[in-house]
Amino acid sequence: MSIGKIPHEIKVVDLSKGKHKAEDFLKVNPRGSVPSITDGDFSLGESNAILRYLFATRDLPEHLYPKDPEVRGHVDMWMDYA
């Protein structure tokens, strides 16, 4: 799925074969968890952190992640609740 037209490449990590614990993947995410992203020299794990990072660094529609602190607070609450 592509929201916001962010250029990206999906790489499948075979968890059943332990690829998330392989040396090359641990360079992306030392915790060995998915999802993870690499943006230039910057790597990040955890889905909520990734979403917040993308909204902070890309020009994405406000209806996807509101700028109003009170509304965003409610969105963050439900994201973190999950």
The ranges assigned to domains in the chain are 15-81
Tally of helices (H runs) and strands (E runs) in the chain: 3, 2
Task: Pick one of 1.10.600.10, 3.40.30.10, 3.30.450.20, 3.40.47.10 as the CATH number of 15-81.
Answer: 3.40.30.10
Residue 45: CB atoms within 10 Å: 16
Strands (E), the chain: 36-39, 42-45
Q: In a 10 Å sphere around its CB, with 0-12 CB exposed, 13-18 middle and 19+ buried, how is residue 36 labelled?
A: buried
Q: pTM higher than 0.85, yes or no?
A: no
Q: Residue 5 — very low, low, confident or very high, per pLDDT cuts 50/70/90?
A: confident
* Residue 15: pLDDT over 90: yes
Task: Provide the token pair at 69.
Answer: 């602190």
Q: In this predicted model, which residue has the larger pLDDT, 82 or 63?
A: 63
* Residue 1: pLDDT over 70: no
Bridge-partner residues for 59, per DSSP?
none
Predicted confidence (pLDDT) per residue in 20-73, tens digit: 999 999 989 999 999 999 999 999 999 999 999 999 999 888 888 999 999 999
